[in-house]
Amino acid sequence: MKVAVVGAGPAGVRAVEQLVAAGLTPLWLDEAPDGGGRIYQRPPAQLSRDARRLYGFEAKRATALHATLDALKAHADWRPNTLVWHIDPHRRRLEVLSAGTQATLDFDAALLCTGAMDRVVPVPGWTRPGVTTLGAAQIALKTQGCAIGDKVVLLGTGPLLWLLAYQYLKAGARPAAVLDTTAFAHKARHAPGLLAGGAVFWKGLYYMAAVRAAGVPVYEGVRPRAITGAGDQVSGLAFETARGAARTLACDAVALGWGLKPEAQLADLAGVPFRFDADQHNWLPERDIAGRTPVPGIYLAGDGAGIGGADVAERAGARAALALLEDTGRPVPQDTVAALDAALARLAGFRTALERTFPFPADLARAVPDATLVCRCEAITAGDLRAAGGTPATGTARELNRAKAFTRLGMGRCQGRVCGPAGAEILAAALNREVAAIGRLRGQPPVKPVPLAEAAE
Ligand SMILES: Cc1cc2nc3c(=O)[nH]c(=O)nc-3n(C[C@H](O)[C@H](O)[C@H](O)COP(=O)(O)OP(=O)(O)OC[C@H]3O[C@@H](n4cnc5c(N)ncnc54)[C@H](O)[C@@H]3O)c2cc1C
């Protein structure tokens, strides 16, 4: 049986580990050069920071995952630097691009472990050079050992905001300020629910305390107003404090992000149905706790199936592989299955608490000023989108894909991965509808840009 695993992050590694232990040789693809995924992203060989400095408290786990990954490569059909840009669930084929070469690969079952990406709310000035997502700023630190500027403001909400602030501090790149759109009182109110996270919760508290203790200016409950600057240079961030006072901070770079969204385009192309999850405020592909989807032969695990974090990803990867093995008539250790199911159920409660503690600021997204770019690839503003929507009474584009047809929102390089969530909020607000009623941008191949010659082939 040919099993394809897409992704070599925590979920993909633990999935392949189970498949190999069962005697299979899975086809294992990752667009990155060396695997490890996002949290345990590996630097190029010439970067000499050691694991302790790169991954902090997670160094042991990172090293263990990398060791497993490296040991598994010889037992799998390992294909790094390989983008899977389409999946055909009927003919059971993957379209892949590796080093400029296009190939079609067959599979009998596929396990998609494609991870997540930052979720963005457009702030006036967010497309200036010098503005990145929190995740991109972290990748620059992990893989190139550099900060995105000399005076960097970190803006957004969620664990990554505080983790990055701490990592910047440890790397000697003290942030100019941390701006959290969630108010302190809101976080404090939800803190008891986070206790279920155990060590993860205490680490989070430690990061927050360390950032404050180092004297980094922290503002909570803020509303960003604009990233200011002249030409290509960021010069400041204007915002409203929790008490409504207007402030501007001088800076030369801004990293922003409001939580994560699943990279679920391949699941979409595979025909997996999606549902809107109110807590994650995301559209999630449908699957059971074991990672089985309603589409025969398609399994999902890790953040690509719904944001869960690295601990969940490792367990979900192993669990989905066991489900796949079980479904194809192979014996699986039932005590391992039971232990994984129990852990996944417990961790799901923690994730819900985390999402409620750091909510996506839908109100901010719904109020993006008319002149602000939402889709930077196609230069579509919030006003363009509102105009396409019409009025609540006349409603021309009552659904996001219709608005896409009218405006070209989401037709550029990112295929709506960046602009989709905020675009949906803006359209929903214009039509006075719930965001879930607006729908989501449907996935289209290629899921990421491929050279025209390859697409033609
Ligand atoms: C930028 C960023 C930084 C993060 N940093 C942290 C952190 O420091 N600490 C933390 O606790 N959590 C962090 N997270 C959350 C973290 O991603 C998850 O908790 C964890 O890594 C999820 O594991 P995973 O295996 O599901 O996905 P990932 O680790 O994201 O791995 C997914 C893998 O799939 C590959 N892939 C995706 N699509 C394709 C495709 N079409 N073709 C081929 N390969 C593909 C990717 O290259 C990647 O290697 C971060 C998330 C992001 C987006």
The tens-digit pLDDT sequence of the chain (457 residues) is 999 999 999 999 999 999 999 999 999 999 999 999 999 988 887 777 788 888 888 889 999 999 999 999 999 999 999 999 999 999 999 999 998 889 999 999 999 999 999 999 999 999 999 999 999 999 999 888 899 999 999 999 999 999 999 999 999 999 999 999 999 999 999 988 898 888 889 999 999 999 999 999 999 999 999 999 988 899 999 999 999 999 999 999 999 999 999 999 999 999 999 999 999 999 999 999 999 999 999 999 999 999 999 999 999 999 999 999 999 999 999 999 999 999 999 999 999 999 999 999 999 999 999 999 999 999 999 999 999 887 766 668 889 999 999 999 999 999 999 999 999 999 999 999 999 999 999 999 999 988 877 767 6
Mapping DSSP to helix (H, G, I), strand (E, B) and coil, where does residue 272 land?
coil
- What does pTM read for this prediction? 0.95
**Which atom of ligand 1 lies nearest, measured to the CA of 11?**
25
Structure tokens at 202: 């205490």
- The confidence score (pLDDT) of residue 398 equals 86
Does the beta carbon of 300 lie inside 6 Å of ligand 1? no
Residue-level pLDDT at 198: 86
Nearest protein Cα to ligand 1, atom 34 = 7
The candidate with the shortest Cα–Cα distance to 353, out of 279, 278, 257, is: 279
Element (H, E) at 239: strand 233-240
Give the DSSP letter string of 359-405: ---HHHHHT--TTSEEETTTTEEHHHHHHHH--TTT-S--SHHHHHH
* Distance in angstroms (rounded) separating the CA atoms of residues 218 and 136: 21
- CA distance linking residue 276 with residue 278, whole number of Å: 6
> DSSP of 56-105, one letter per residue?
GGGHHHHHHHHHHHHHHHTTTEEE-SEEEEEEETTTTEEEEEETTEEEEE
The answer to whether 400 and 427 have CB atoms below 8 angstroms apart is yes
d(CA 87, CA 104): 10
Q: Whose CA is nearest to atom 6 of ligand 1?
A: 39
- Any atom of ligand 1 within 6 Å of the Cβ of 267: no
pLDDT of 455 reads: 67
Dist. CA 139 → ligand 1 center (Å) = 11
Say if ligand 1 is within 6 A of residue 399 CB.
no
Q: Which two tokens stand for residue 3?
A: 């099993």
Measured CA to CA, the distance from residue 143 to residue 53 in angstroms comes to: 12
* The predicted structure's pLDDT at residue 457: 66
- Residue 231 is predicted with a pLDDT of 82
CB count in 10 Å sphere of residue 345: 10
Domains along the sequence of the chain with CATH: 3-117+261-355 (3.50.50.60), 120-258 (3.50.50.60), 363-438 (1.10.10)
pLDDT score recorded for residue 53:
81
Report the separation in Å between the CA atom of 39 and the middle of ligand 1, taken as the mean of its atom positions: 6
